[in-house]
Amino acid sequence: MVIKRLNHIIYSWGTALLISLMMVFTIQAKELVLVGSTAADFKPLSLFETRKIFLGYQVKRGDITLTAIRNINDEASYQIFLQKVVHLSARNYERRLMSKTFRTGTATVQASESLTTLKKQLYSNKYSVSVMWLKDVELNDKLKVIQVLWKEST
């Protein structure tokens, strides 16, 4: 009798947990976020400043110049970044960066093809920022979300 009741409880809780987990995974929308090291203590960037830094222009906090690193590891997040942040196609964005460097001699915006390398770059310089999926930052205690850039509509 007790065992039967225990089985029933486990079954009920198990089912509830499974349903909850399913709901979490189906409802949680994708979010593209601007990230930096947890040591980063500068105030968030405006959308204009975010676009500015990823187009290779200088953005400062106090006397320090922030550095942007492009995350080209994930095609889907890069496409959203292009559409929502820099407002250019991949081809035009590349050409804009090259053209600016060729014209003015200023440094281009670095790109990282590996998420692991990108994270290491962010750990090593608290004034570096990049763009990632929220899920790639959430469980990482060395990175923090500076601001949300885009959220999937559910």
Partner 1 sequence: MLRAISHQLRKVLGLSLLFSVSFMTHAEVELLIFPEIKANYQSANSFSTDNITPSVDIFSAGAIGPVNFLAEAYASENVQHIERLQIGFNMSDNSRVWFGRHHNPYGYWHTQFHHGTFLQTPISRPAIAELGSSSGIVPSHSTGVLIEGELEQGMSAWHYTASAGLTSSLVSAGGGHHGGAAERALHDFEISNPKPNEHKLGYALRLAYFPDALAETQFGGFINHQEIMLSLDTRIDEVDHLTDIIIHDDHHSADDDEHHTEVSEQDMTLNLNIVGLFASYHQGSLNLVGEAYYFSAAVPMDGQQHKSNFSAAYVHASYSLDEKWTPYIRLDTTLSNRNNEYLSLLDSFPTDAYTVGLRLDLKNNNAFKLEYSKRNISDIDSERWLLNWSAVW
What residue ranges bind partner 1 (CB under 8 A)?
48, 51-52, 55, 57-58, 60, 89-91, 94-96, 98-99, 101-108
Whole-number minimum distance, CB 74 to partner 1, in Å?
19
Spatial distance between the Cα atoms of 37 and 143, rounded to a whole number of angstroms? 5
Q: Closest distance between partner 1 and the C-beta of residue 44, in Å?
A: 18
Least distance to partner 1 from the beta carbon of 14, Å?
50
**Residue 24 or 105 with smaller CB distance to partner 1:** 105
Q: Cβ closer to partner 1: 85 or 146?
A: 85
For the CA atoms of 131, 133, 136, 138, the dihedral, rounded to the nearest 10 degrees, stands at 100
Beta bridge partners of 112: 71
Q: Which is nearer to partner 1, 95 or 151 (CB)?
A: 95
Q: How far apart are CA 137 and CA 29, in angstroms?
A: 15
Which of these, 84, 57, 82, 61, lies nearest to 71 by C-alpha position?
82
